[in-house]
Amino acid sequence: MRNILLSRPTATDVESQVRKVLRGLGNPEPPLKLEDVRALLRLDRGYYSTRNDGFLREKVSRLAVAGAQIIERPTLLFDAVRKFDLRALYLPDRRRILLDETQPTPKQRWNEAHEIGHSILPWHADLMLGDHEQSLTPGCHAQIEAEANYTAGQLLFLQDRFLTAANDSTPTLDAVRALKSGFGNTYTTTFWRFIEGAHTDLPMIGLIGPHPRRLPANFNVSDPFRYVIESPAFVETFKSVAVADLHRAVSSYCGGQRAGPLGAAEIVLTDRNGDGHVFHFESFGNTYDCLTLAVYRRRHARVVGF
């Protein structure tokens, strides 16, 4: 899945809403305490389990949601959780966030921030729970999820606090790891925020997927990565590179070690005019994913024979 970059007006609206929240919290130091955010916004948090049908049905049946669809069909939320494999959801009528308790704690932190994002964007309230036909279209769904993700990133990384630190560092995986602990977020979310927000004039691309030398049995060569994250500068200058080509490039230099640095190489990617440019690729394994950061280096010099 490729990341969706928000338009500048939408991003500005999101940033304004997050700025109000952070100002209401007194512009806190990292890491952000989500319990403080919930208290400020008067949000409630609960849990459910996707591994236990009885547990989930019991939780859903206890919800008193002021919406005709839910009153008439109390299993609507249960059906949605199952159909879309939801790890969290926000109930705007109750100002209640529900988290899948079977998810690891670091992922719960991101999931909660994502749902808080839905709660603080006023134009999302009418799109929750499928109340409008347009909210059921894949394009609209992808857009509002991208907006909630951007909001979560703005919150958890305290807007300019993270960007200042990120821009003061060299764009490498070592820099991403160093920033991870300071803001209390996962490697993956720090990686994502770094690529989308830092060093805005520098084309970068991030890849998250299985270890290229330790592929799972169900590996799909046509869809080799869970996420392909392109920076704004990359999207502006370069055409979308075929994921199969990106996977071959990563596979060409990665070693077989299970975790830690997996290797690095210079790879040529083509811009929108058909010209080649050199990117520095480096990969790191965290035992369950391979994260690859590709950063622009220089124009590729063609060698012409005589």
Q: Clarify whether residues 12 and 110 are in a common domain.
A: yes
**Residue 76 pLDDT:** 55
In a domain, 284, yes or no: yes
Q: Clarify whether residues 91 and 188 are in a common domain.
A: no
Number of H helices, E strands in the chain: 12, 8
In a domain, 305, yes or no: no
In angstroms, what CA-CA distances link 187 with 198, 227, 230, 245? Answer: 15, 14, 17, 25
Q: Clarify whether residues 168 and 130 are in a common domain.
A: no
Rounded mean pLDDT, 131-153: 76
Whole-structure pTM over 0.75, yes or no?
yes
A 10 A CB-CB count for 155 gives: 23
Number of domains in the chain: 2
What would the pLDDT profile of 32-88 be if each residue is shown by its tens digit? Answer: 999 999 999 999 998 877 676 555 555 555 544 444 444 444 455 555 555 556 677
Are the CB atoms for 303 and 282 separated by under 8 Å?
A: no
Q: Clarify whether residues 169 and 256 are in a common domain.
A: yes
Reference 234, options 203, 206, 207; nearest CA is 203
Q: Clarify whether residues 169 and 214 are in a common domain.
A: yes
Q: Clarify whether residues 140 and 235 are in a common domain.
A: no
What would the pLDDT profile of 260-287 be if each residue is shown by its tens digit? Answer: 999 999 999 999 999 999 999 999 998 8
CATH number of the CATH domain containing 201: 3.30.450
What would the pLDDT profile of 173-219 be if each residue is shown by its tens digit? Answer: 999 999 998 999 999 999 999 999 999 999 999 999 999 999 999 99
CA distance 282 to 89: 35
Are the CB atoms for 149 and 193 separated by under 8 Å?
A: no
Average the pLDDT over each of 79-93, 199-213, 220-234, 242-256 and give the range with the smallest value.
Answer: 79-93
In a domain, 23, yes or no: yes
Q: Clarify whether residues 69 and 105 are in a common domain.
A: yes
**Final residue of a domain: which of 156, 180, 210?**
156
Task: Fill in the DSSP letter of residue 298.
Answer: E
Rounded mean pLDDT, 115-125: 91
Q: Clarify whether residues 182 and 152 are in a common domain.
A: no
Q: Clarify whether residues 262 and 283 are in a common domain.
A: yes
Which of the pair, 52 or 248, is modelled with greater confidence? 248
Rounded mean pLDDT, 130-140: 54
The length of the chain in residues reads: 306
**Residue 267: in which H helix or E strand, if any?**
strand 259-270
**Residue 241 pLDDT:** 86
Domain assignment of residue 276, given as a range = 160-299
In a domain, 174, yes or no: yes
**Is residue 130 scored above 50 in pLDDT?**
no
